[in-house]
Chain A
Amino acid sequence: MSTFYFIAFLSIFFSILVITAKNPVHSILYLILTFFTFTIHYILMNAQFLAIVNFIVYMGAILVLFLYTLMLINLNKDSEPRKSNLVKIAGFIGGGCFLVTIIAALKAFNVSQPVLLNNPNLGLVKNLGKILFNEYLLPFEVSSILLLSAMVGAVLLATKEPKTV
């Protein structure tokens, strides 16, 4: 039980560091740590398939993509012009109002039953694969088209267009 609270503290801590780090590279590294704590959350809920997919897709693919982009656009001159304090305070108030609203709604609904894992093989690959390829076969195929079109779009956007002078 205390494992969850420790990992939850770590994820909140690292995600605060993500948005406050001055250097974007440090912020990406903190984001990797945050996603690692999310993987531990998935394992604690016995969602093993999602833990592995989170580990491979987010930490392996997406964050490497972020690092490569940061390497391509070479930010050595100046990291980032700071926003004025007014905008920062407004941002904190906006996010804080959102959080207060959610917490107030949570208090009003008053759900506090414990999360029980009734079916121990709920998140295993075998069970999820059966559901994915029986009920959700069409969305699965459509997502492959989505990935293909995203790949084509990324290549089209990122290639240099020839000079038309």
Chain B
Amino acid sequence: MRRCGLCLAVSLLVLVYAGVARANVVEYVSQHPVPANVGGGFCYINVPHVHDYPPADVRLYRETRAGYYFVGDPVPHAYDGPRYSYYGPHPVTEARVEFDGPVYCYIQGPHFHWYQPPARASFKFSGGAYWYVGTFPPAYYQDQPRYVGINEVYGPMPYARPAVDVHAAPGGFHGEIVVNRPGLRTGAVVGGSATPPPPMPSPAPAVQVGVDINIGGGPIVVEQRGVVERRETMERHDHHHVARGGGPLMALPVRRPEPIHSAPPRNHHPTLFAPAHVEPHHPGSGQKL
């Protein structure tokens, strides 16, 4: 018995020594948030590198052969660099990084990334954001259950998301339309410096949607919004009054023949009108989100 205890103690010592001798080296292939327990903030190294700490939440990453790639929205992680507004899921199109296969961002609703989609990719810039209007391959749906959990991270996270006019959703967009809960802030600026003009055919300098919402000309802040969804055979009205404050997102109850994520999408999407009250927002006065 005594001998057994001694063996156990020696084994434990060996294990502890092995743990000490092997340093913690974690490979990253992109910029990424720094976990709070090692100081927090954001690491701006955008080439493969190593740290002595693992990611705080692996749901925000894809594991590639070369290391972790951050697929989340960098803005709530103290990121302060170039940013581009997106709406809904889309392929990750950062040209600098080589993936083994297609990688998708499963974030619902408005969010930011540090990369701009390439001109040849199937994105449309509309209502203040890039929307993916291409077709998702089966791999997107197969991987969805595994990666859609990223919305559990960002959903309740209070931060200024890009203000996107969902009524300007282009035809061919297959994701869910998501709006902020009543009493919470949508985000901030549409068309400010946070979203540089896209290289692809962009909307006209100023587009009138509904009665009084302006998109594309000068930056504007959406203060209050009413949403009307109109379908071919049914008509329903949802009114959301949006005030200042950050908060969780919820999906606008868009009625679809079947859940959007359960099968490859159809080229059918609602026509939306947006009678909204907007206030002009002058450049340089609060474009930083």
Question: A and B: real partners?
Answer: no
